[in-house]
Amino acid sequence: MKKILITGGAGFIGSHVVRRFVQKYPAYQIYNLDALTYAGNLENITDIEQAPNYTFIKGDITAESFINHLFEQHQFDGVIHLAAESHVDRSIEDPLAFVKTNVIGTMHLLNAAKKQWEGKEATKRFYHISTDEVYGSLGAEGLFTETTPYDPNSPYSASKASSDHFVRAYGETYGLPYVITNCSNNYGPNHFPEKLIPLFINNIINNKALPVYGNGKYTRDWLFVEDHAVAIDLVFHEGKNHQTYNIGGFNEWQNIDLVKLLCQIMDVKLGRVPGTSEALITYVKDRPGHDLRYAIDASKINKELGWKPSVTFEQGLDRTVDWYLANETWLKNVTSGEYAKYYEKQYE
């Protein structure tokens, strides 16, 4: 019996990771710790909530004594840490919130793990989920490798870079057994509609403007979320201690080309005249500090652990659009209330 703490398991990627672990490893006890911020939603995981090997804990990783108590009480064997403030635009408005959760929250988890695991390091693992944004921005050429120097440009990526450094420092200084992965842009079901793909799907459904930042010629490397969950499973079980692995989709798209492809798919799915959705594209003011291009060299995880994406972008986008069309109530629930206020401030 292994006890695994997964943080942020009610969010986008975390919900896919929790589902995979609960279903694939009945002998593990999976504890999902999530503060249920605007981005956390238990509706993402209703299908596994009754599973005997699953426990949900509502709690905040920034609450130090609560975290210490939790680790004392449960004696976890492993931690998969996904809880974070994750949206770049929000980090520009409120950087401190990102320091609190992404840096201080991670510190509390590290301290609790260090304390409880002293002398038992050989059987433990702290897995920190990070992002390719820590490497900064690429020009037209090149790929991020595991040895690319950190060069974060947004408060979000600076907070993630900081937490990566602390995880590594705890490994070097205290012998904490850790792995880190830095992944490219995910997409898929349950993605909160403040991020490009789900935001634009929702706006197309509602015939609202599609706000493309700047000239739209920014490039991202897209990975289907379930393929990320597979990679996380593999790294958790087979990754080497004190190592970093880059995870990417081998799938670069300029924003404007991706948006046009999405518009075409949506016109077909919604039975609209071709070109209807594209007419909603509106160029708006650019994101400050907008990184030009991210692209991952995922050859290390491919060679060492045999991982590669299983879903093509066409298949993944098709599944994603179908999921949003079948889950309009989910979309309505998450876009009402607080999110409506955020949207108005950000775009109108």
Active site residues: 132-133, 156
**Residues numbered 173-202 forming contacts with ligand NAD, rule: CB under 6 A:** 183, 185-186, 192
Region label for 294, one of left (φ > 0), alpha (ψ between -120 and 50) or beta (otherwise): beta
Which of the stretches 36-44, 201-209, 273-281, 330-338 binds ligand NAD when contact is defined by CB under 6 A? 36-44
Query: Which stretch in 130-138, 260-268, 315-323, 332-340 sits in contact with ligand DAU by CB under 6 A?
Result: 130-138
DSSP letter (8 states) at residue 47: G
Q: Is 188 in the site for ligand DAU (CB under 6 A)?
A: no
Q: What span, in angstroms and rounded, lies between the C-alpha atoms of 334 and 324?
A: 12
Nearer to ligand DAU, 178 or 294 (CB): 294
Among 220, 232, 321, 324, binds ligand DAU (CB under 6 A): 220
| Helix spans in the chain (H) | 12-24, 64-74, 88-93, 95-98, 106-117, 155-174, 196-205, 225-238, 255-269, 299-305, 313-326, 328-335, 338-347
**In the block, which residue shows the tokens 């490994």?**
171
Rule CB under 6 A: say whether 133 interacts with ligand DAU.
yes
Other beta carbons less than 10 A from residue 344's beta carbon: 9
Asked if 126 contacts 114 with a C-beta cutoff of 8 angstroms, the reply is: no
C-alpha to C-alpha distance for 141 and 305, rounded to whole angstroms: 26
Report the site for ligand NAD in 78-97 (rule: CB under 6 A): 82-86
Contact status: 213 vs ligand DAU (CB under 6 A):
yes
Residue whose structure tokens are 């087979």? 238
Among 79, 176, 199, 321, binds ligand DAU (CB under 6 A): 199
User: Helix and strand tally (H, E) in the chain?
Assistant: 13, 12
Rounded Cα distance, 78 and 126, in Å? 6
The helix/strand/coil state of 28 is strand
Amino acid at 233: D
Near ligand DAU by CB under 6 A: residue from 196, 234, 247, 265: 196
Which of ligand DAU, ligand NAD, none binds 211 (CB below 5-8 Å, type-dependent)?
ligand DAU
> Judged by CB under 6 A, does residue 294 bind ligand DAU?
yes
Which of 228, 219, 87, 245 has the alpha carbon at shortest distance from 164? 245
Q: Which is nearer to ligand NAD, 16 or 280 (CB)?
A: 16
CB of residue 77 vs ligand NAD: minimum separation in angstroms? 20
Cβ proximity to ligand DAU, 52 vs 285, nearer residue: 285
- Rounded Cα gap, residues 79 and 97, in angstroms: 23
Among residue numbers 45 through 74, which ones bind ligand NAD (CB under 6 A)?
60-62
Residue 83 interface partner, choices ligand DAU, ligand NAD, none, CB cut-off 5-8 Å depending on type: ligand NAD
Taking residue 221's Cβ as centre, other Cβ atoms within 10 Å add up to 24
* Partner from ligand DAU, ligand NAD, none contacting 8, C-beta within 5 to 8 A by type: ligand NAD
Binding site for ligand NAD (CB under 6 A): 7-8, 10-14, 34-37, 39-40, 60-62, 82-86, 101, 105, 129, 131, 160, 183, 185-186, 192
